[in-house]
């Protein structure tokens, strides 16, 4: 059997990109000689608090409260090389071809880490018709895709709201400034609110929310490809098809760089 399985890995690209991006912005502020000018509590309240509140309005409470887990999925996510998964499927198909579908019973325990594959092969071993196996696995995969897409939608919504809250803060600051032109001491704080809210909103949207939404969608696409390999394999094994045909089916959904040549 091919070694390996789905592993939870730390995405250094996500964390490293965020750290470097913020480090460059902070360095530019510090080298400008006035880092304290970029700290304004009212601006923070307007942008961060307002973004959280308006984003919560757009989704159910449970979905919004689960956004913390969504963010963690972009940093710690389960991944596996689809080529390795394809080789494992082909090995299982050969075993089933030679010893019958029931011969896979002894291999199910070793597939516990591959929950989606384990579920599909368990249905096959239990004698579930291949059409029903495919329907169940496809429904399960579509539900997972839907959950991931909902998480990406929350992040994208926050990315849309943050600049808008920055604009609202800018308008508040300008109104305060124009209403107190006779008091020169109030012009500076009002102008700070006006400018910093726009700055905070742009940073949050373009350096945090939008990139994380894109990364979540990428991870979801990778998982969808892996699960497609598992589904095609389980259905083919259930139909007791020739493993060579299964190899062609799997290679038809894998990108060229991931295709396998198991029987060559």
Residue by residue, pLDDT tens for the chain (264 residues) are: 555 566 667 788 888 999 999 999 999 988 877 788 788 888 888 899 999 999 999 888 888 887 777 778 788 777 788 899 999 999 999 999 988 898 898 888 888 888 899 999 999 999 999 999 999 999 999 998 988 888 899 999 999 999 999 999 888 878 877 777 777 776 777 777 778 889 999 999 999 999 999 999 998 899 999 999 999 999 999 999 899 999 999 999 999 988 998 887
Report CA dihedral (224, 225, 227, 229) to the nearest 10 degrees: 160
Residue 89 lies in a domain: yes
d(Cα 192, Cα 190) in Å, to the nearest integer? 5
Helix (H, G, I), strand (E, B) or coil at 95: helix
Residue 26 lies in a domain: no
Angle at 37 between CA 32 and CA 43, to 5 degrees: 130
Residue 56 lies in a domain: yes
pLDDT score recorded for residue 1: 52
Residue 16 lies in a domain: no
Angle, in degrees to the nearest 10, between helices 130-179 and 115-125: 150
d(Cα 200, Cα 138) in Å, to the nearest integer? 42
The answer for residues whose C-beta is within 8 angstroms of residue 137's C-beta and 6 or more apart is 116, 119, 120, 123, 227, 230, 231, 234, 235
* Element at 8 (helix H, strand E): strand 7-10
Query: Residues 141, 227: contact at Cβ < 8 Å?
Result: yes
- State the total domains in the chain: 1
Residue 185 lies in a domain: yes
pLDDT score recorded for residue 226: 92
Residue 29 lies in a domain: no
Query: Residues 258-264: contacts with CB within 8 Å, 24+ apart?
Result: 258/81, 258/82, 258/83, 258/86, 259/83, 260/83, 260/86, 260/87, 260/90, 262/86, 262/87, 262/90, 262/91, 263/90
Domain that holds residue 84: 39-253
d(Cα 239, Cα 249) in Å, to the nearest integer? 14
Residue 14 lies in a domain: no
Residue 153 lies in a domain: yes
For residue 247, list its beta bridge partners.
none
């Amino acid at each position: 059997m091919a070694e390996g399985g789905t592993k939870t890995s730390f995405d250094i690209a996500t964390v490293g990109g965020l750290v470097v991006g913020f480090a460059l912005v902070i360095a530019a502020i510090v080298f400008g000689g006035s880092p304290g000018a970029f700290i304004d509590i009212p601006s923070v309240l307007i942008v961060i608090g307002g973004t959280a509140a308006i984003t919560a309005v757009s989704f159910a409470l449970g979905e919004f409260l689960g956004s913390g887990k969504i963010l963690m999925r972009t940093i710690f996510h389960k991944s596996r090389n689809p080529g390795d998964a394809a080789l494992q499927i082909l090995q299982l198909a050969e075993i089933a071809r030679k010893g019958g579908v029931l011969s896979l019973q002894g291999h199910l325990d070793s597939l516990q880490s591959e929950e989606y594959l384990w579920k599909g092969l368990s249905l096959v071993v239990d004698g579930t018709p291949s059409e029903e196996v495919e329907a169940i696995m496809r429904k399960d995969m579509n539900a997972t895709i839907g959950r991931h897409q909902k998480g990406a939608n929350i992040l994208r919504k926050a990315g849309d709201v943050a600049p808008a809250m920055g604009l609202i803060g800018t308008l508040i600051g300008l109104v305060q400034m124009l209403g107190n032109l006779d008091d020169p001491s109030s012009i500076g704080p009002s102008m700070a609110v006006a400018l910093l809210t726009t700055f905070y909103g742009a940073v949050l949207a373009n350096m945090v929310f939008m990139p994380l939404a894109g990364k979540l969608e990428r991870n979801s696409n990778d998982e969808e490809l892996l699960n497609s390999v598992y589904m095609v394999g389980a259905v083919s094994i259930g139909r007791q098809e020739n493993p060579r045909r299964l190899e062609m089916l799997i290679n038809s959904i894998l990108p060229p760089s991931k295709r396998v040549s198991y029987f060559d």
